[in-house]
Amino acid sequence: AGFYKGAKPEPGSFLDPGAIKLEGNARFLHSCIDSFVVPGSTGDSTHSLDHSSGLSEAMGRIFDSADACDFLIVARTEDSSETVSQTICAHKVILLPFRPFNVSKGAESITISISRPCLQHFTTFIRYLYTREVNVTTSSLRCIHWMASHFGAKRLMEDAGRLFTEVLPEDRSFKVQLSLYDYATETGDLLLQENCLRYLAWNYHNLTTSPAWTQLSVQLLKSLLLRADLVAPDEYFVLQSVESWITDQGNSTTLETQAKLLSHVRFPMIPAERLHDLESSSPLYSAHRGLYQEKMLKALQFNVLLFSKIQASPAFNKEDADYQSRIYTGGPWSTVLDPSKDQQPVYFAPPIRRESYAASLETPVHNSLIFQKDKVQWRANILQTQQDCSNEGLVCDSLPMARLRAQRSVFQDKVSFRNRLLLMCRGSYVAQVQDFKNDVSPVKVNGTYVVSYPCPGDQYTFQFVVRPQYV
């Protein structure tokens, strides 16, 4: 029956107040519960009610009010002129996961020493422990990162560390980069340390001409020389830069330290014509005659013997980095394409008329002297459209797409190519280095540049580098 205003419910119906009695109507209640179960269902379904979106704001209010706080934090900075302190009343339950506060030992307070520049950001950091949100500026970044590292806020430390990648390219004097590397070493932040090292390695040429070059520590220079992704015109440039650094240090470095640094130069990668002049041109040859002669002999054997002969030697070590090239950008191993300039377009035959940016280069099969007469023709492209890709016989997963392809296969049983694409920001610093797979390398992923060091305005030039390696 229908219901209308003034109608009385039938006795015993769902709307009858007298029907809902725990004792007398148990069977009725069971029938009501059963009516919510869909026939054939296997059991209760689960529905998520998530109200966590306002949790951070609520936790912030708890911190700001300091209601029921039970632990005092005194942050103090001292210098020769005065002592400045700041007191915060916090809650033990919030600080409990962060061991340096020692709240689990029954203490009611703690005094912490902190640098004067970071004191002004200390309240912001403690508030983050409540809210897990913080606004970081360029000026506060280092302090927030230090406090996160010191007090064990690992996720904040890692995320703040990633923000340093935006700061690294800003200082052309390289003093900030060296300072951040020292700071990363001091705090044990391996991620930040690697970000600094990688930037310095990719921009090694600029580093060697900067005011900070002579300030490099021995350990930092050694770490750079150990890297295969060090970008330089050639290995002779690397040798000259190391010799220059050692000379500039004067008597502050021992002969043993000098020899260790020189031993990390990959002499077999030095062009053969440069090896001949080392005895007369090197400022350190007379001081390290034995080392130079040993390394030069190794390099000359590399240049005049097939690598299979070198491998057959009992003294051969397949892990020897001396036989592995770095990323050499000098001639004839690289070429640059700049889509922002009037690059010479490549036109395709009618009825298709499209343009893609392209260049050609010719390299030896290998930088060993015995392969100097065997040449390889390379074609470098930046493919802008799917039609460009189609004209090259490709289906591109993303655009633009870089392509570096040999015009013919050569010595595949002896030599392989591990080529690289360098994304240069405004031609001033290397923002990204990536490899080629099946001769192609995506410039963008899902329409976005994915680079290690951001470039304002995404103004990139593209440097193609040929890297032959013995199989």
Per-residue pLDDT tens digits for 266-290: 999 998 889 989 999 999 999 999 9
Phi and psi at residue 402, to the nearest 5°: -90, 140
Largest CA distance in the chain: 116
Tokens 């709240």 found at: 103
pLDDT of 33? 55
pLDDT of 128? 98
**Measured between alpha carbons, how far is 296 from 273 in angstroms, rounded to an integer?**
12
- Can you give the length of the chain in residues? 471
Q: Is the pLDDT confidence value at 85 over 90?
A: yes
pLDDT of 206? 97
Mean model confidence pLDDT for the chain: 88
Q: Which amino acid is at 411?
A: F
Q: Is the pLDDT confidence value at 25 over 90?
A: no
What residues are paired with 75 via a beta bridge? 86, 112
Distances (CA, A) of 181 to 59, 111, 242, 337, 376: 35, 29, 19, 32, 40
Q: Is the pLDDT confidence value at 345 over 50?
A: no
pLDDT of 2? 46
Q: Is the pLDDT confidence value at 355 over 70?
A: no
Averaged pLDDT, 302-307? 86
Averaged pLDDT, 374-382? 94
Q: Is the pLDDT confidence value at 456 over 70?
A: yes
Q: In which band, very low, low, confident or very high, does the pLDDT at 309 lie, cut at 50, 70 and 90?
A: confident
370 burial type by CB count under 10 A (0-12 exposed, 13-18 middle, 19+ buried): middle
pLDDT of 341? 74
> Following CA atoms 202, 207, 213, 217 in sequence, which dihedral angle do they give, to the nearest 10 degrees?
-10
**Measured between alpha carbons, how far is 419 from 435 in angstroms, rounded to an integer?**
6
Q: Which helix (H) or strand (E) is 257 found in, with range?
A: helix 255-262
Per-residue pLDDT tens digits for 151-167: 999 999 989 988 999 98
**Measured between alpha carbons, how far is 161 from 165 in angstroms, rounded to an integer?**
8
Q: Is the pLDDT confidence value at 468 over 70?
A: yes
pLDDT of 14? 46
- Sign of the Cα torsion 309, 313, 318, 321 reads negative
Q: Is the pLDDT confidence value at 20 over 50?
A: no
Q: What is the per-residue DSSP string for 299-344?
A: HHHHHHS-HHHHHTSTT--TT-GGGS--EE-STTSEEEE-TTS-PP
Q: Nearest 5 degrees, angle CA 139-CA 145-CA 146?
A: 100
Q: Is the pLDDT confidence value at 436 over 70?
A: yes
**Measured between alpha carbons, how far is 267 from 265 in angstroms, rounded to an integer?**
6
Q: What's the pTM value of the predicted model, to 2 decimals?
A: 0.80
At residue 193, the 3 state secondary structure works out as helix
Q: Which amino acid is at 467?
A: R
Cβ atoms 172, 210 nearer than 8 A: yes
pLDDT of 10? 56
- For 262, the token pair is 């020189």
Q: What is the per-residue DSSP string for 365-423?
A: SSSSGGGTT-EEEEEEEEE-SHHHHHHTT---SSSSEEEEEESS---TTTEEE--EEEE
Helix, strand, coil shares of the chain, percent, nearest 5, are: 40, 20, 40
Averaged pLDDT, 384-396? 93
CATH (one of 3.90.76.10, 3.30.750.24, 3.30.710.10, 2.60.20.30) for 54-156: 3.30.710.10
**Measured between alpha carbons, how far is 407 from 348 in angstroms, rounded to an integer?**
18
**Measured between alpha carbons, how far is 457 from 299 in angstroms, rounded to an integer?**
44
pLDDT of 80? 62
Q: Nearest 5 degrees, angle CA 205-CA 210-CA 212?
A: 120
pLDDT of 1? 42
pLDDT of 38? 58
Angle, to 10 degrees, between the axis of helix 218-225 and the axis of helix 190-202? 70
Domain ranges of the chain: 54-156, 329-345+354-470
Percent share of the chain, pLDDT over 70: 87
Between strands 231-232 and 327-328, the pairing is: parallel
> Following CA atoms 349, 351, 357, 363 in sequence, which dihedral angle do they give, to the nearest 10 degrees?
-30
pLDDT of 352? 37
Q: Is the pLDDT confidence value at 370 over 90?
A: no
Q: Is the pLDDT confidence value at 356 over 80?
A: no
145 burial type by CB count under 10 A (0-12 exposed, 13-18 middle, 19+ buried): buried
Averaged pLDDT, 197-204? 98
Averaged pLDDT, 289-297? 96
Q: Which of 41-45, 175-179, 255-259 has the highest mean pLDDT?
A: 255-259
